[in-house]
């Protein structure tokens, strides 16, 4: 661990930045966080065994700002475990994950912390989000709408329209979020976090775009990313099976027939997408689904 933890009374927001080979954009993302009007934060860069210049850049950033710390895993532990390490290694009443290729408006932290301070019934607050990295102008992410009803209604509304689940980059009450995160690797682990968090409170939306997310190619590359989360052929052919098993352990989810239908619908959509990919590009799809099957 490099850097000194900013655990004094001024630190209200812990920021966890999970990163793997993020050298190209890491410093820009950190500079964006340093421009926040609310300075009461501590940043933990959680390096998932990067092979580029990420360690050197992180060390320099730690030397420049005592609020920044750096932790490196000896081996790649997977995205869910790295997200969990970033959370559990961070101080503060509130917590947010920060992607190493995103950028924040200076008022992002303050606007969301103010919403949480004003309403104790909120578990999280996120601003509207712009998606960048495409050939067109940045677009508003459709999946940050407020979830301000009952826990049952909020779960249903989320699963109907998760979008790219950019709400995972909200500002959370850290103690509540810590109960909702597990290090196990499975596809849609971020969806599971949101569904669990909704048992702890509501999601607020700040009605201004205060975060720019780099989403270039994410929707088109998901089959390529799948082997990093699913380590057996059955789990790749039915990507949401592990997610479904985990969320059905939540008693309130099991008791809701509508959620069973929504889970079945999403499972069928992902299976259909893989079948379509097989029909359109059989060799390409087979190579990706069969890659690294010896991984344990």
Choice between 198 and 1, residue whose per-residue pLDDT is larger: 198
Residue 8, C-beta contacts closer than 8 angstroms, at least 6 positions apart: none
pLDDT above 80 for 176: yes
Q: How far apart are CA 95 and CA 1, in angstroms?
A: 19
Predicted confidence (pLDDT) per residue in 195-228, tens digit: 999 999 999 999 999 999 987 645 558 898 899 8
pLDDT above 70 for 290: yes
Predicted confidence (pLDDT) per residue in 115-148, tens digit: 999 999 999 999 999 988 756 678 888 999 999 9
Predicted confidence (pLDDT) per residue in 42-86, tens digit: 999 999 999 999 999 999 999 999 999 999 999 999 999 999 999
Residue 191: name the closest of 96, 98, 266, 94 by CA: 266
Given this model, what pLDDT does residue 20 score?
A: 95
Enumerate the CATH 3.90.550.10 domain ranges in the chain, comma separated.
Answer: 13-214
Across all residues in the chain, what is the average pLDDT?
92
Q: How far apart are CA 241 and CA 246, in angstroms?
A: 9
| 151-160 helix and 189-197 helix, angle to the nearest 10 degrees | 160
Predicted confidence (pLDDT) per residue in 7-18, tens digit: 445 799 999 999
CATH number of 13-214: 3.90.550.10
């Amino acid at each position: 661990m490099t850097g000194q933890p900013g655990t004094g009374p001024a630190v209200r927001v812990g920021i966890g930045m999970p990163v793997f080979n993020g050298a190209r954009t890491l410093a820009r993302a950190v500079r964006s966080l340093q421009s926040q009007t609310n300075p009461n934060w501590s940043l933990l860069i959680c390096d998932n065994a990067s092979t580029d210049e990420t360690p050197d850049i992180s060390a320099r950033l730690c030397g420049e700002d005592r609020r920044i710390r750096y932790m490196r895993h000896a081996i790649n532990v997977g995205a869910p475990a790295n997200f969990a390490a970033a959370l559990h290694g961070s101080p503060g009443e509130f917590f947010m994950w920060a992607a190493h290729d995103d950028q924040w408006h200076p008022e992002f932290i303050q606007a969301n912390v103010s919403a949480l301070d004003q309403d104790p019934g909120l578990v999280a607050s996120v601003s509207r989000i712009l998606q960048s990295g495409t050939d067109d102008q940045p677009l508003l992410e459709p999946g940050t709408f407020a979830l301000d009803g009952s826990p049952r209604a909020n779960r249903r509304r989320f699963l109907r329209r998760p979008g790219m689940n950019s709400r995972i980059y909200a500002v959370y009450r850290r103690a509540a979020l810590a109960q909702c995160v597990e290090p196990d690797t499975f596809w849609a682990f971020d969806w599971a976090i949101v569904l669990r968090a909704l048992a702890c409170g509501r999601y607020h939306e700040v009605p201004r775009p205060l975060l720019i997310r780099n989403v270039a190619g994410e929707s088109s590359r998901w089959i390529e990313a799948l082997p990093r989360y699913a380590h057996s052929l059955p789990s790749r052919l039915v990507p949401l099976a592990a997610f479904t098993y985990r969320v059905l352990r939540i008693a309130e989810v099991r008791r809701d027939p509508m959620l069973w239908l929504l889970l079945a619908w999403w499972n069928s959509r992902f299976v259909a997408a893989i079948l379509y990919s097989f029909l359109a590009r059989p060799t390409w799809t087979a190579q990706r689904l069969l890659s690294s099957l010896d991984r344990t």
